[in-house]
Amino acid sequence: MIDGKTKTCALLGNPVEHTLSPIIHNTLAQRCQINMVYIPFLVEGSQLRQAVEGARALNMLGLNVTVPHKSAVCPFLSEIDKEASYIGAVNTLVSTPEGFKGYNTDLTGLHRALLSEGIQLSGEEIILLGAGGAARAAAFLCALRGASQVYLLNRSQEKAEAVAREVNQKAERDCIRAMELDGWKQLPAKKYLVIQGTSVGLAPHTEEAVIEDKAFYELVHTGYDLVYRPAETKFMRLVNEAGGKAFNGLKMLLYQGVEAFELWNNTKVREEDAYFCYEQMKKELEEHEGQK
């Protein structure tokens, strides 16, 4: 029941029509018995400052920020968490007496998702595909959580080199090595954790993988695709066919939301409640796919 004590959180983005975030937060609020509601708002870039100031004026508990506002919102914050400042992008704003503080729970949520599948980053040799926003956050995560070596493969080696330089400098390590997309052919023939951080595999390109050569997948012990729609990408199929384990990015989406909910409410979500949300998200995606 919404009443005078109900706290409000919101998502600012464009588009927001197909977001799964309300499922996460409203389900968690109900299961954790917290008087909170979560609403998505479509916000144009030109209105972003007004939206943040309006949320502050309305005494909102917190905000999520999604595409295309994750970097653009930073100037409107009173403070930015250290790891989020490295990345230069935030997705979670927490109300403080001074204003909103920005966090990047995409980074921490991905780590939590990997750990939930028994995947460790510390000491691991990793192949990271892509050098865009999602892959860049993954590169920071790998460097900050102790990966021994990350081979950053991208169609544009120049872009990969820029990301590698930035991450190595800010993480104060020399663990990211930029390569062209076919650079995997130069790597030692052993098994790697591979994180797929490109948009290849998203509709309408669901029958494509950023690397099609089946010989590549012989190097993969575990493949983690940041794409979660469709539930099984071609990258995942190729990993499975070569005998590796493959996961999609739905748990990353789940845990970035769980981490935001925990920050807003100063609480710890039980794993059984997180898992219940995960099942609700899968059900929603299956229903959406069935309607096509």
Residue 118 is labelled as binding a ligand: no
Facing residues of 150 across strands?
Answer: 126, 176
Q: From CA 287, how far away is CA 129, in angstroms rounded?
A: 30
User: Beta-carbon neighbour count of residue 148 at 10 Å?
Assistant: 13
Tokens 């400098």 label which residue? 169
User: What's the DSSP call for residue 23?
Assistant: H
Please give the C-alpha separations between residue 102 and each of 113, 179, 256, in angstroms, as whole numbers.
Answer: 21, 32, 13
19 marked as binding residue: yes
Out of 70, 101, 234, 251, the active site residue is: 70
Q: Check if 70 is active-site.
A: yes
Q: Are strands 192-196 and 79-80 parallel, antiparallel or unpaired?
A: unpaired
Distance spanning both ends of the chain, measured CA to CA:
34
3 is known to lie in a ligand binding site? no
Q: Is 131 annotated as a binding residue?
A: yes
106 marked ligand binding residue: yes
d(CA 103, CA 112): 15
Known binding residue 132? Answer is yes
- 225: Cβ contacts below 8 Å, ≥ 6 apart: 196, 201, 233, 235, 236, 246, 247, 248, 249
| Residue 81, marked binder | no
User: Closest Cα to residue 141, out of 170, 116, 118?
Assistant: 170
192 is in an annotated binding site: no
The dihedral sign for the CA sequence 68, 209, 282, 113: negative
State whether residue 126 is helix, strand or coil. strand
249 is in an annotated binding site: yes
**Is residue 20 annotated as involved in ligand binding?**
yes
4 among annotated binding-site residues: no
The answer to the question of whether 55 is labelled as a binding residue is no
Residues in binding site for shikimate: 19-21, 66, 91, 106, 228, 256
Q: Which residues are catalytic?
A: 70
Residues in binding site: 19-21, 66, 91, 106, 130-134, 226, 228, 249, 256
